[in-house]
Amino acid sequence: MSGLRTVRVPLGERSYDVLVGHGARSELASLLPTTARRAAVVTQPGIPLEIDPGIPFDVFQIGTGEDHKHLGTIESLCRSFARVGLTRNDVVIGVGGGMVTDVAGFAASVWHRGVPVVHVATTLLGMVDAAIGGKTGVNLPGGSGDGGKNLVGAFWQPSGVVCDLDALATLPPRERRCGNGEMAKYHFLTGDDLLAMDEVERIARCVEIKADVVASDEREGGRRALLNYGHTLGHALEIETGHEIAHGEAVAVGLVYAAHLARVLGRIDDARVEQHYAVVHGAYELDTRLPDGVDHTRLLSLMAKDKKALTSLTFVLDGPAGVEVVPDVAAEAVLEALAAMAAHG
């Protein structure tokens, strides 16, 4: 098909292709394992993309919104797989945004101790981030110290990913902003001027950047943590606002916060902080303000529980050697940076 870009995620025997372009869904069948006799399509109501896997398939809808991203949804999917007799040779296909591909991927990772999964990403955020790299999982509901976002999951690489840009024609502006938040992150990881590229090239380039990081550190022993630039405050804001602020929007605020924190720690200068505002707010047109009324001490305690924080407050921060993981950040610096950000015009 002309105009289609193929990006390889090189992971040895678990390598796979990501197809990027308008109409890419027509190539879906070519990504399915040859053993598959039937497919379980996991999706949500209102997903604007019809697919044809070329083999018999059943469709299973999951609920929309973070409230449905829990273990109960995985159990219910597995019961559905049992009802239709999905075998170890068959395939799960996740069709939707990041929530669908996280849930479909996790269900595939545990069904019969692991069956192949192929993702068809239908949101910008899914295409540039969530569907690529094999992170799957669900939240543990509960706000009293025994819950959290994506706490239960598995690394389970897909056998292939489709990014069909036709799905973006009807993408709500808020969902587009969420994708732009993750794209702004790639800007700081590579310095690439992604906005100068056409949309197919831009998405394919984001996939290439992510593929390169994942190939070098599949299970986040080191470099992959850089993909969490902007996410430490971002995740805290999502939790603190009860998901009123969406993931990509929270990452946008988190990127600028990370710059303030790097400034407080003497890693970057004021001009570099302003560059963060220029990119995130100026170029990607994202809101960079802390939501009204958020309690800084609560944010601090949420950030201390971040998955990166193995022994101490840990952030991904810009500095003289570029973006890197910085452990042992003092609580006072975290609060000072929040205050500096709140005071920034």
Residues that bind ligand GLY (CB under 6 A): 129, 133, 135, 224, 227
Question: Least distance in Å: CB of 245 to ligand GLY?
Answer: 17
139: annotated active-site residue: no
Query: Minimum Å distance from CB 92 to ligand GLY?
Result: 19
Our answer to whether residue 263 is catalytic in this structure is: no
Integer Cα distance of 163 and 6 in angstroms: 10
Q: How many CA atoms lie within 13 A of 36 on its CB side?
A: 24
DSSP per residue, 179-248: HHHHHHHHHHHH---GGGS-HHHHHHHHHHHHHHHHHH-TT-SSGGGGGGTTHHHHHHHHHHTTTSS-HH
Instruction: Point out the catalytic residue in the list 235, 260, 263, 276.
Output: 235
Q: Which residues contact 261 (CB under 8 A, 6 or more apart)?
A: 315, 317, 329, 333, 334, 337
Distance CA 106, CA 117 (A): 9
Smaller CB separation from ligand GLY, 15 or 297: 15
Other CB atoms within a 10 A radius of the CB of residue 285 amount to 12
| 79 classed as catalytic | no
Is 220 a catalytic site residue? Answer: yes
Helix (H) or strand (E) segment spanning residue 137 = strand 135-140
Give the whole-angstrom CA distance, residue 287 versus residue 290.
9
- Cβ closest to ligand GLY, residue 51 vs residue 139: 139
DSSP single-letter state for residue 27: G
Catalytic residue among 25, 69, 70, 135: 135
Smallest separation (angstroms) from ligand GLY to the CB of 330? 26
State the catalytic residue, choosing from 119, 185, 205, 247: 247
- Report, in Å, the least distance between residue 154 CB and ligand GLY: 13
Is 228 in the active site? yes
> Smaller CB distance to ligand GLY: residue 53 or 153?
153
Cβ-based nearer residue to ligand GLY, 92 or 214: 214
For the CB of residue 189, give the shortest distance to ligand GLY in the complex, in Å.
Answer: 11
Q: Say which of 228, 238, 240, 276 is annotated catalytic.
A: 228
Catalytic residues: 113, 135, 182, 210, 220, 224, 228, 231, 235, 247
